[in-house]
Amino acid sequence: MGDPLDSIAVVRHLRDRHGVQSTPPLVNQWARQGLIPFARAQGRKVYRCEDIDAAVAAGTIPPREATWLTSAEVVAYLSERHGIERFPSVVRGWLRRGLIPRSKPTGAGWRIRDIDVDRAVRAGDVPPPMGRRRRGEG
């Protein structure tokens, strides 16, 4: 994974270049996952994801780099090692945010409890495709 983005620089860029006055949900998500430093002053503010997407597309804010897992690998591991047959909300979140590629056979309709995927990640066979999560998030 590349260097974390500086959330203050992201907010400044969006304000100065795009006239956006508050932090987008995507930046809040990165902050909660520890991918960018969390600034408390920004925690309660909200704006549209399109705004940060436009800033990233403009090339001034680099996209977050991630180690890619295929969703099939995640499902195979959880199924074979843990007998889990349904996808957790946290993995659906990874798919939506592009941290793991979406694959049609596993994209919709799978469910598992978050604690099960957390156990699998802690076992060391499935590396987490994101930064640290804090207790109570997911």
Rg (CA), the chain: 16
pLDDT at 62: 45
pLDDT tens track for 115-129: 445 555 555 544 444
pLDDT at 49: 46
Phi and psi at residue 116, in whole multiples of 5°?
Answer: -70, -45
Read off the pLDDT band of 32 (50, 70, 90): low
Please return the burial class of 34, using the count of CB atoms within 10 Å of its CB with bins 0-12, 13-18 and 19+. Answer: middle
pLDDT tens track for 64-80: 443 334 455 555 655 66
Read off the pLDDT band of 1 (50, 70, 90): very low
State the pTM of this model.
0.22
Residue 16 has pLDDT above 60, yes or no: yes
Q: Which two tokens stand for residue 67?
A: 């180690």
Strand partners, 112: 88
Query: How far is Cα 122 from Cα 112, in angstroms, rounded to an integer?
Result: 16
Helices (H), 58-107: 71-82, 89-96, 104-107
